[in-house]
Structure 1
Amino acid sequence: MLFRKKYINNYNPIFSIPINNKPRPSFIKYAMERASKIDVARTELNYVIQPKNIKTGLIIKRYRRLNEHRACAMRAMVQAMLYHFNIISRLVYASVEQLADECGLSTISKAGNKSISRASRLITEFMEPMGFIKCKTSWDKSSRTYMPKVIKLTSLFFMLFGISHTKLKNARLQQLGWVNKNLLIKGLKKISLKEAKLKNKNDRIKKLFEYREKKKKISKRKTLAKNLFTLSPCLSRQKILNILIKKYSISELKKMGSEGLKKLVNIEYFYLKKLASSALVDPP
């Protein structure tokens, strides 16, 4: 029994709308409402469709239904993916990490390391092989690491809660009409669905690259912060002062004065102290 209690950290994951809540298009609101009224983890599609190996295309035989822990995770994840769904590009404008955080599926170890394996396994072992989503990962040459997954929702995903391909297509055309209306107001030319889709996709990839660069900088600062706070408060402040002196020009330091510099050291000290014990920022 003790083993089973430790098996899952959150038995009832629920999607929580982000603090910076943004107005969602009527189609997304409608889809989220539909998905909340139907048990997406127990619909007929989950029993009729056989998952396929993403690399080989060969069918993966299933002999049992989703266990309740994964089913609960899927119910929350569907809501999160819909909330971040871009109607035109059909991409989810959130990373797996962000989706996991908002669904209560991520955990932090005693050492301060974040794990999103429950959300990641749901995507790679079930939702993608079943054909509900498609994932693409890009290689970042500058950092020599893979970028966060770009998730695309398929027509099958919407069929989970009774939204047909035709209704999805109509929603995309309606959204395109709204986009073109705004372009005309700005004195710009209208664009086709294909052009809008490509633009949105490129914007998403650009944001992911920007986030990767931001994450790299924060990671470096976090390493600095952890090293600083192995020292005494006095030595930590002295090192921060030395860093700030190198950062600003002589004229800027004179303008700032000793009091201004002292204030800046205090701000940096408490920021780095907080950063040393926190997880990295979420992707866009």
Structure 2
Amino acid sequence: MIRSKKPTPPVLEYPEVNVSEEGDVRHLHLGTPWIQGSMRMKEPFEIELEYVQRMMAWLLFVDAASVSGRHAMQLGLGAGAITKFCYKKLGMCSTAIELNPQVLAVCRSWFKLPPDSEMLRVVLADAGVEIRSPEWRGTVDALAVDLYDDNAAAPVLDSADFYADCRALLTDDGAMTVNLFGRAASYGESLEKIATVFGEQAVWTFKPTREGNAIVLALRTPKALKRTELQERGEAIQARWDLPAAKWWRVFKPLAG
């Protein structure tokens, strides 16, 4: 009898992480020209890219005074812009889930990502698996989903089951923002999955940026805001946190509106 060998676990191959600079802006790449994240070197804790700024639109739906007591989670670290902003500028407890350890190392070395602490934690894991952990359920107030491979062709996780897992993470007044971008991605199909899971009344959409990034926001509990409220709240966000939110009301609307 021949004793069978214990199967060798597969070795994960991650794309190479590269850094480029353009004037005062530093970019992160995953072995291709596609920009996976950016940072203005003189202002490392601000959010540089327009679509990433729009992923902070959940601020429109909460009391500004409550923000620092909330929990933000980012799926797909990129250059760490959202995690850094939530941690340093908003004073939030912040968690990021990233699969590629090289991305984390580069963020710490080149993109001013602070070390782990009681208020900031980076988990090296598959986001689709990690978010099913019971410790996260019902604990996240602001969930940012930006999961793309090195070719930025389509979202890595984009199923109805995945969005249901995301919804389960959220507190009652929590929100998810998703970057829907990619040459092979179908925006309509992704939006339909999100609306099926969250309900059409809970979903809001931005017009695409010039680069083609379309941000979708989904609330755990639907909330209606009039255009005048959106404008007033956007102006308050811009004055308080220097995000270009005063103009969001022109390009942001409810799916069911």
Query: Which TM-score band (shorter chain)?
Result: under 0.3
Give TM-score, length-normalised by structure 1.
Answer: 0.24
Larger radius of gyration: 1
Q: Greater relative contact order: 1 or 2 (C-alpha under 8 angstroms, separation 6 or more)? A: 1
Give TM-score, length-normalised by structure 2.
Answer: 0.25
Higher helix share goes to which structure? 1
